[in-house]
Amino acid sequence: MPDPESPSDRGGWLRAVEVLCSAAAAILVLTFPIYSAGVSWCLEGCVEPHPDEIRDYRRLLGLFAALVLTTLVLARCRRAAWRTFAWHAAVAIAGAASAVVFSVPEIDFAELLREDPQPYRSENPCHSGSNECTGG
């Protein structure tokens, strides 16, 4: 009977968990646009996503991050080939891009790039106790 603590048996178990986590992370990459579409295409005229939908999206995002981290740690523990790390990195990058593009609520990139207007500055500053203030 093989020893469960032997390196060969442990490596097989780690690889199996790594493959399952990697497959789940890859599926979640496809889940972000589907979930975003379900939230965005509201037929009842809603404007913003419900707080429960935002919470569920954040949970999906946290699960994705945990799965990617798990795959990288397990690949490191079993001393996997560089191609394995490249695959996990590709899934992580695709998932991060998908999470940003299909975020809930949507990121308004135009709002992020817009500069705030400069506050109005009068030539004569209004100081407390002076009668130089316009309007009283």
Of 63, 64, 77, 57, the C-alpha closest to 17 is 77
pLDDT tens, residue by residue, 64-118: 999 999 999 988 888 888 998 999 999 999 999 998 888 877 665 566 566 766 6
Whether residue 12 lies inside any domain: the answer is yes
Phi/psi of residue 122, nearest 5 degrees: -80, 155
Mean pLDDT is highest, among 1-5, 103-107, 122-126, for 103-107
Cα separations in angstroms, 117 against 46, 86, 108, 114: 30, 45, 18, 9
Whether residue 127 lies inside any domain: the answer is no
Given a cut of 50, whether residue 1 has pLDDT beyond it is: no
CA 80: distance to chain centroid? 26
Q: Mean per-residue pLDDT for 33-42?
A: 78
Q: Is 36 helix (H, G, I), strand (E, B) or coil?
A: helix
Whether residue 129 lies inside any domain: the answer is no
To the nearest whole percent, how much of the chain has pLDDT over 70?
65
Whether residue 118 lies inside any domain: the answer is no
Whether residue 128 lies inside any domain: the answer is no
- The pair of three-digit structure tokens given for residue 85, joined into one six-digit string: 């790390």
Whether residue 2 lies inside any domain: the answer is no
CB 60 within 8 A of CB 35: yes
Whether residue 65 lies inside any domain: the answer is yes
The pLDDT of residue 79: 85
User: DSSP assignment of 67-92, as one string?
Assistant: HHHHHHHHHHHTT--HHHHHHHHHHH
Q: Look at the chain and report how many structural domains it folds into.
A: 1
Look over the chain and give the mean of its residue pLDDT values, rounded to a whole number: 78
First to last CA, the chain: 94
Domain hosting 87: range is: 7-108
